[in-house]
Amino acid sequence: MKQLLILGAGTAGTMMANHMRPKLDKKEWQITIVDQYKTHYYQPGFLFLPFDIYTEDQVKKAGKKFIPKGVSYVQKKIEQIFPKENKVKLEDQTINYDILIIATGSKIAPEEVEGMKGANWHKNVFDFYTYEGSLALRNKLRTFKGGKMVVHFTEMPIKCPVAPLEFVFLADSYFNKKGMRDKVDLTFVTPLGGAFTKPKATASLSYLLKEKNIKVVTDFAIEHVDNDKNQIVDYADRAVDYDLLVTVPTNMGDKLIERSGMGDDLNFVPTHHNTLQSLDIENVFVIGDATNVPASKAGSVAHFQAETLTDNLLLYIDGKPLKEEFDGHANCFIETGNNKALLIDFNYTQEPVKGNFPFSGIGPLKLLTESILNHWGKLAFRWIYWHMLLKGIAIPFVSRNMSLKGKNI
């Protein structure tokens, strides 16, 4: 029996198990997926949980539900990958493999910044990239009386790069609805040169910050969090005061990657941009947030990657050349508050532009333009995630490679 071993049962790993099981002969191939955690989280929901838009139950389900029959689901801690020996050591067993898929994702690493995970962590310094952080923040916001709220991210790359902006837009809406917007001073702090960094998006969207009265601090490379003064301080000794800090810490690949000596400085695995094969080892493939490819770390990206990777695994098994197909395609709804959202569709080389999606001239969704329908799309996406995406079902009319149709270029 040959072994296809998948590490990580998050979005990407679960999709790969669902894609591959029907395609590989059960008499010939065993498929095993390993993840120590029992719960599968709908991570985009962490953006909504703090604002009481989603409940706890809407963002988590038992992971087991989504692993197909005929796939062995092992809930154990992964100690180390030995790529030269084609084996993976778990806490109390070793699994040999013929093909390995690394889908171990990325995690926040607040300990990378001095003071961030300090005395005030989850008291007035919060992340919203974990279930625990997002929930603690919800409880804080329910009783927040107003003051200076700072939304900040540490450095790129981060999972869902646009989430910090969405958070600040939703915060504006949330406080408006509560009738206390005038009591909250909202500031967005970014290490980049602006809240928007691509020319078309900057031109189309800069009004949002002005309209919502959100202050922006740019080029802010955080050096430490001062838990006594309630300030974040950067390397140029600039300080920003807060009463409530919502921060996105440095994002890093799993520590397993570091232990196995397979990652870059941030524990992301060097991966071929277009085939998703590891650059170092032929029978190791990488998908989703765990790769170092310069695509956004997002579920939609993992979804498009999964389609290419499925084809490439079958080609690899047949001893044929891999397709250099993946183009960095991402398709993301961006909440802008007040029940509106944007949609962006882009890839490695094409920046987000205006237009209609998925049908040229028709839409019904609008690219890079606020609309209520886009917001419904984002909310509907939760259902699509649980019922289609994880199961590896293609999204109708949205192809794995980005299409130029309907885009104003």
Interface positions with another protein (CB under 8 A): 112, 154-157, 161-162, 165, 191-193, 196-199, 201, 205, 218-219, 221, 223, 235-236, 250, 264-266, 270, 292, 294, 296, 330, 332, 334, 344, 346, 352, 368
Alpha-carbon torsion angle 69, 81, 265, 196, nearest 10 = -10
- Closest approach, Cβ 357 to another protein, in A, equals 15
DSSP per residue, 298-355: SHHHHHHHHHHHHHHHHHHHTTPPPP------EEEEEEEETTEEEEEEE-SSPPP--E
And the tokens for 92?
């109390």
In the block, residue with structure tokens 């809407």: 58
For another protein, give the closer residue by CB, 203 or 380: 203
Smallest distance from another protein to CB 362, Å = 24
User: At closest approach, how far in Å is the CB of 374 from another protein?
Assistant: 14
- Number of other CB atoms surrounding residue 265 within 10 Å: 8
Q: Which of residues 184 and 330 has its CB atom nearest to another protein in the complex? A: 330
CB nearer another protein, residue 134 or residue 296: 296
Strand spans (E) along 123-172 = 125-126, 147-153
Which residues are CB-contacts of 139 (< 8 A; sequence separation ≥ 6)? Answer: none
The minimum distance between CB 352 and another protein, in angstroms, equals: 5
Q: In the chain, how many H helices and how many E strands?
A: 7, 24
Tokens of 64: 């087991």
Least Cβ distance, residue 201 to another protein (angstroms) = 4
Map tokens 């149709």 to a residue.
405
CB nearer to another protein: pick between 22 and 199 = 199
- Closer CB to another protein, 63 or 263, in the complex: 263
CB of 389 to another protein, least distance (A): 19
Smallest gap, in angstroms, from Cβ of residue 196 to another protein? 6
Q: Select 219 or 282, whichever has its Cβ closest to another protein.
A: 219
CA distances from 283 to 31, 91, 286 (A): 15, 23, 10
Nearest to 77 by CA among 15, 7, 132, 129: 7
Q: How far is the CB of 158 from another protein (least distance, A)?
A: 9
Which residue, 153 or 242, has its beta carbon nearer to another protein? Answer: 153
CB of 92 to another protein, least distance (A): 35
Closer of 185 and 223 to another protein (Cβ):
223
Closest to 189 (Cα-Cα) out of 153, 223, 157, 156: 153
CB 39 within 8 A of CB 102: no
Provide, rounded to whole angstroms, the least separation between the CB of residue 350 and another protein. Answer: 11
Nearest to 7, CA basis, from 256, 299, 272: 256
Q: How far is the CB of 301 from another protein (least distance, A)?
A: 10
Of 124 and 247, the one with the shorter C-beta distance to another protein is 247
C-alpha distances in Å from residue 319, one per residue of 270, 285, 314, 316? 22, 15, 9, 5
**Furthest-apart CA pair in the chain: how many Å?**
66
Indicate the residue type of 117.
Answer: K
Nearer to another protein, 45 or 161 (CB): 161
Please state, in angstroms and rounded to a whole number, the distance separating the CA atoms of residues 164 and 153.
7
Nearer residue to another protein within complex by CB, 199 or 364: 199
The SS3 assignment for 395 reads coil
- CA pair distance 379, 386, nearest whole angstrom: 12
In three-state secondary structure terms, 116 is coil
